[in-house]
Amino acid sequence: MNKNQGLHRIVIVGGGAGGLELATRLGRTLGRKKQADILLIDARMTHIWKPLLHEVAAGSLNSYSDELNYLAQASWNHFRFQPGTMNGLNRKEKTITLASTTDTSNTPLLPERTIEYDTLVIAVGSHTNDFNTPGAQENCLFLDSREQAERIHQHLISRSMKITEQEDADTTTNIAIIGAGATGVELAAELHHAAQLMSRYGLKSDVGNTRITLLEGGNRVLPALPERISKGVQLQLDRIGIHTMTGTLVSQINKDNLETRDGKNIETDVTIWAAGIKGPQFLQNLDGLETNKINQLLVHPTLQTTQDDNIFSLGDCASCTITQKNGTSFTVPPRAQAAHQQASLLTKNIKRRLQQQELLSFEYRDHGSLISLSSHSAVGNLMGNLTGSVMLEGWLARMFYLSLYRLHQIALYGFWRTGMLMVKDLLERSTTPKLKLH
């Protein structure tokens, strides 16, 4: 039973970076003042920042240490939380349907249920797009969730233990990563660093017998970022011994090898797909809402969906086209900084909507790109009105990269609690292994 009956009902589906920041901001203002009832819905009970998943996969980050419980965050910030997966929408009745849920032993927890809304925000993120490549679903590991990241880690730890205990076993681990965008590049560097650390703990998986291959269909790594960043990253990858194959499209993935369109056959022990994104499939047939070919909801610059002003969308599951003053248009890229900015705008627009004021249009500000190469380095550029574009590399770039996560934590926890979390992280470095070994 909703204790705040009669208040404007704001329902946010999806507790990723954008959705959780929005719920927290609205809770601290409208929720605390009892001006609206804010409900956050997510399929999981905890949140972890998606750009950290490559570290979870490598074992350099313990996800249980950095996760945030939605129920606790809701209690601290004056909003409500319900676990659930959206599977239906009735725009006329202004309701959404949540699928029934079960626990890990398939014991029923919650039945299928209907949630009423006055304002609906869909922020369900994205999934990896395998482009229907034969064998991808059966033979690839993916990096869309904490569970998938931990599956990659468990797979690598199990293989390392196996070849350590069997002296006559093939001691070479061939890892193929399909897609040399930010996710693929950062994962490759993190796995290379993990291979170095494993040998310190007695596992036969050092750099000499771990071969990592990055495959990219474009003509360079990081094809969506400026070319000078791409060149800097390529130099670093070459230096640490990660093999890159650009201009290479994968045609078939088998259990122990993959085939390319130009006839190459690459032996693999572990194949990870990190190329492309698409919105969840259920968005494609959501009571008449418009989507593009990769299932993203089409939205106006106000972030309202094109077919319903009561429904907003932000983050990776939204396709927002912005027309600039010079008449050129561009689509907002699916990046963490875009979701952060959209959450900030939507906080203002929902307040303006309640006050029956004209809504603001989203203006994307590209603050640059930073790519982490684990402990090896970081490369990127920062962009600002005063400095223009400044290229960063090495320790300074690494510090700016780490600050992005701290800014996300500040949005959720505030300055003081984020400061305490930073102290906790420093203390843990001296009391825990540098690599998660289980």
Q: In what order do the strands lie in the sheet with 250-253?
A: 250-253, 257-260, 265-267
| CA–CA dist 191, 147 (Å, integer) | 17
| CA–CA dist 237, 373 (Å, integer) | 8
Mean pLDDT, all residues of the chain: 87
Q: Which residues contact residue 358 at a Cβ distance below 8 angstroms, ignoring those fewer than 6 apart?
A: 352
Q: Identify the pLDDT of residue 31.
A: 97
| CA–CA dist 53, 399 (Å, integer) | 19
Contact by Cβ (8 Å): 15, 44: yes
Within 13 Å of residue 374, how many CA atoms lie on the same side as its CB? 30
129-272 maps to which CATH number?
3.50.50.60
Within 13 Å of residue 7, how many CA atoms lie on the same side as its CB? 18
| CA–CA dist 214, 211 (Å, integer) | 10
**pLDDT winner (highest mean) among 115-119, 166-170, 187-191, 414-418:** 115-119
Question: Above 60 in pLDDT, residue 34?
Answer: yes
183: confidence class by pLDDT, cuts 50, 70, 90:
very high
Using CA of residue 30, residue 12, residue 317, residue 106, what is the dihedral sign?
A: positive
**Angle in degrees, 0-180, between the axes of helices 395-413 and 17-26, rounded to the nearest 10:** 40
253: confidence class by pLDDT, cuts 50, 70, 90:
very high
How much of the chain, in percent, has pLDDT values that exceed 70? Answer: 87
| CA–CA dist 352, 26 (Å, integer) | 12
pTM value > 0.85? yes
For residue 432, give both structure tokens.
Answer: 């825990």
Contact by Cβ (8 Å): 29, 70: no
Of 70 and 389, the structure prediction assigns the larger pLDDT to: 70
Q: List the chain domain ranges.
A: 8-126+279-354, 129-272, 368-429
Residue range 255-285, pLDDT digits in tens: 999 999 999 999 998 999 999 999 999 999 8
Question: Mean per-residue pLDDT for 304-333?
Answer: 93
Q: Pick from 85, 14, 50: which is nearest to 274 by CA?
A: 50
Q: Identify the pLDDT of residue 168.
A: 53
Q: Which residues contact residue 59 at a Cβ distance below 8 angstroms, ignoring those fewer than 6 apart?
A: 153, 156, 157, 194, 435, 436, 437
Of 108 and 244, the structure prediction assigns the larger pLDDT to: 244
Q: How many residues in total does the chain contain? A: 438
For residue 71, give both structure tokens.
Answer: 């129920």
Domains 8-126+279-354 and 129-272 share a fold: yes
Q: How far is CA 312 from the centre of its chain?
A: 20
Q: In what order do the strands lie in the sheet with 377-384?
A: 368-373, 377-384, 388-393
8-126+279-354 maps to which CATH number?
3.50.50.60
Question: Helix, strand or coil for residue 307?
Answer: coil
